[in-house]
């Protein structure tokens, strides 16, 4: 059975701290790994990773994938209160397009002023 695990499940930091969120997976026929930020309702897309070792960056956020060790990390530097959210990791897997996105439980990040 395909599985995505995230750690930690929750994290409390102060503004200015740097955080690293982890995502590991066990799936059949990996296609891509995606990170989302969920603040209130709709998860919003952050990154999609398909190749090992290539860092993707967007402002203070960055992510990298290791397809050999089957994990990804999401880094947030100089955290701000607006970064408080649930960060979801998802893996697309399987033989057929678009039919199998497996989500992890999420990491709830709280950034205190």
Partner 1 sequence: ETGVTQTPRHLVMGMTNKKSLKCEQHLGHNAMYWYKQSAKKPLELMFVYSLEERVENNSVPSRFSPECPNSSHLFLHLHTLQPEDSALYLCASSLIWVGGSNTGELFFGEGSRLTVL
- Binding segment (CB under 8 A) for partner 1, from list 13-21, 62-70, 76-84, 104-112: 104-112
Could you say which of 23, 43, 72, 79 contacts partner 1 (CB under 8 A)?
A: 43
d(CA 10, CA 107): 5
d(CA 65, CA 75): 12
Report helix, strand or coil for 52: coil
Could you say which of 53, 82, 98, 113 contacts partner 1 (CB under 8 A)?
A: 98
d(CA 75, CA 20): 5
Contact footprint for partner 1 (CB under 8 A): 4, 31-32, 34, 36, 41-45, 48, 50, 88, 90, 92, 96-106
């Amino acid at each position: 059975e395909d599985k995505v695990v995230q750690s930690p499940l929750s994290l409390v930091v102060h503004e200015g701290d740097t955080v690293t969120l982890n995502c590991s997976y066990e799936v059949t026929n990996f296609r891509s790994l995606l990170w989302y930020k969920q603040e209130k309702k709709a998860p919003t897309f952050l990154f999609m990773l398909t190749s090992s070792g290539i860092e993707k960056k967007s402002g203070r956020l960055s992510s990298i994938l290791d397809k050999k060790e089957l994990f990804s990390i999401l880094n947030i530097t100089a955290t701000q209160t607006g970064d408080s959210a649930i960060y979801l990791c998802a893996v697309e897997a399987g033989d057929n397009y678009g039919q199998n996105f497996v989500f992890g439980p999420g990491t709830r990040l709280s950034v205190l002023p």
